[in-house]
């Protein structure tokens, strides 16, 4: 007999960041996570996480709205249901609730974690098995200060913690951003890959000028230069420059990926379990991208260890992640709420072992950072 879902809890957790994290639309000093705990009638618990960057400044879901959605709309539909039929539960939620992919991702992750614990198998095995046990991870240089970012990059290179770097730009005048980026690329030279994330801040004309300057400066990748709904601009820019574009906010799921690929986009896509609605949905988008010859990148919404581990299990099953990943969220936070943090070394991170996610909550730290 299947184990039955007996309780669902969504908890707001606030952890300060190690430094201000500057985006084009907001600056973060605290990361808020929604931690989901689903318990079944066999006494097992599955963990999930929904996290965004910059709250409603970034997208339509905030941590507070995710908690409300799960408590008010999802939990009543899931109580008393068999915990092992994840597809049936996903279809149920999709038929009654539009969007809310962050909340759905946390639920799907918790159900997969629960399934892995029930079967005593890592989550990656439920997804077909890990191709990679050590996954490359870049670091975002987001202080906004050129000298500080150069020092940070050089120290991380020396420690072999990261060799790929991303810069958040778009909040300052174009040429100020270009000079900032070019100085950092010149400082690290060929020892590191340098990419930029514009977070939708440019119109197409500004993006064309910016990409020409960045291409000349030796930058390797430009993430989402134009607004998410202007897919045509991304296609035109990808045709104009040999500097690749990374589509992020423009692609949430497999349907978006198909539309962009069919329009003629050539470049790469940032996969994110949160924007897709869960690890299973993110891998569907990866399949469409790969079929269209579009490169893959493991993206993050700066999740903590639980959400990061879920994404790592998904990315580990992909044959070729051409642009690596940015699963550094836990490193940006001053503390953690898990017993055993992820192991970052040799410019990447190890896939956690153990049943499900391979992650265990530290109850004392959870209580410390839980929003009162």
Which one of the listed residues 168, 185, 272, 275 is annotated catalytic?
Answer: 168
DSSP class per residue in 130-150: -S-SEEEB-EEE-SS-HHHHH
Judge whether 47 and 113 are in contact, CB under 8 Å: yes
Contacts for 77 with CB less than 8 Å, ≥ 6 apart: 92, 93, 96
Sequence-ordered alpha helix ranges (H) in 263-323: 273-276, 279-291, 305-315
Distances (CA, A) of 315 to 138, 280, 332: 14, 11, 20
Greatest CA separation for the chain: 64
- Return d(Cα 42, Cα 47) in angstroms, integer: 15
Question: Rounded to whole angstroms, how far apart are CA atoms 180 and 358?
Answer: 40
CA distance linking residue 103 with residue 358, whole number of Å: 21
Q: How far is the C-alpha of 168 from the C-alpha of 248, rounded, in Å?
A: 13
Neighbours of 242 (CB within 10 A): 7
State residue 28 phi and psi, 5-degree precision: -100, 135
Q: Return the sign of the alpha-carbon dihedral for residues 127, 164, 33, 337.
A: positive
- DSSP of 31-91: EEEEEEEEEETTS-EEEEEEE-SSGGGTSS--HHHHHHHIIIIIHHHHTTSBTT-HHHHHH
- 168 annotated active-site: yes
Q: Which of 61, 223, 249, 326 is catalytic?
A: 326
Q: Which residues contact 242 (CB under 8 A, 6 or more apart)?
A: 215
* H/E run at residue 211: helix 204-216
Separation CA 194–CA 202 (nearest Å): 19
Residues with active-site annotation:
168, 326
């Amino acid at each position: 007999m299947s184990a039955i879902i007996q309780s669902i809890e969504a908890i707001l957790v606030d952890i300060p960041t190690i430094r201000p994290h500057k985006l084009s639309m907001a600056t973060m000093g605290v990361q808020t996570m929604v931690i989901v705990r689903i318990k079944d009638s066999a006494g097992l618990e599955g963990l999930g996480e929904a996290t965004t960057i910059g709250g409603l400044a970034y997208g339509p879901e905030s941590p507070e709205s995710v908690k409300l959605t799960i408590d008010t709309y999802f939990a009543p539909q899931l109580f008393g249901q068999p915990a092992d039929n994840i597809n049936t539960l996903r279809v149920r939620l999709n038929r009654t609730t539009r969007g809310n992919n962050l909340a759905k991702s946390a639920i799907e992750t918790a159900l997969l974690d629960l399934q892995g614990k029930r079967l005593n198998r890592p989550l990656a095995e439920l997804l077909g098995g890990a191709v990679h046990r050590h996954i490359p991870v870049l670091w975002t240089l987001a202080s906004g200060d050129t000298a500080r970012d150069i020092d940070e990059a050089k120290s991380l290179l020396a420690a072999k913690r990261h060799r790929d770097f991303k810069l958040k730009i778009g909040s300052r005048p174009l040429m100020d951003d270009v000079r900032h980026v070019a100085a950092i690329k010149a400082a690290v030279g060929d020892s590191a890959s340098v990419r930029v994330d514009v977070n939708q801040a440019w119109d197409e004309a500004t993006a064309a000028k910016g990409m020409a300057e960045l291409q000349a400066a030796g930058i390797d990748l430009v993430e989402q230069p134009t607004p998410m709904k202007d897919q045509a601009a991304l296609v035109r820019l990808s045709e104009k420059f040999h500097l690749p574009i990374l589509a992020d906010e423009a692609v949430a799921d497999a349907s978006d990926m198909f539309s962009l690929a069919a329009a003629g986009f050539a470049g790469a896509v940032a996969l994110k379990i949160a924007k897709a609605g869960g690890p299973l949905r993110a891998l569907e988008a990866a399949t469409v991208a790969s079929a269209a010859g579009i490169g893959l990148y493991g993206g993050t919404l700066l999740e903590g260890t639980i959400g990061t581990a879920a994404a790592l299990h998904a990315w580990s099953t992909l044959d070729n992640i051409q642009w690596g990943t940015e699963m550094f969220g836990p490193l940006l936070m001053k503390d953690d709420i898990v017993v055993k943090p992820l192991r970052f070394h040799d410019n990447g991170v190890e896939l956690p072992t153990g049943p499900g996610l391979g992650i265990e909550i530290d109850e004392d730290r959870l209580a410390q950072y839980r929003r009162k």
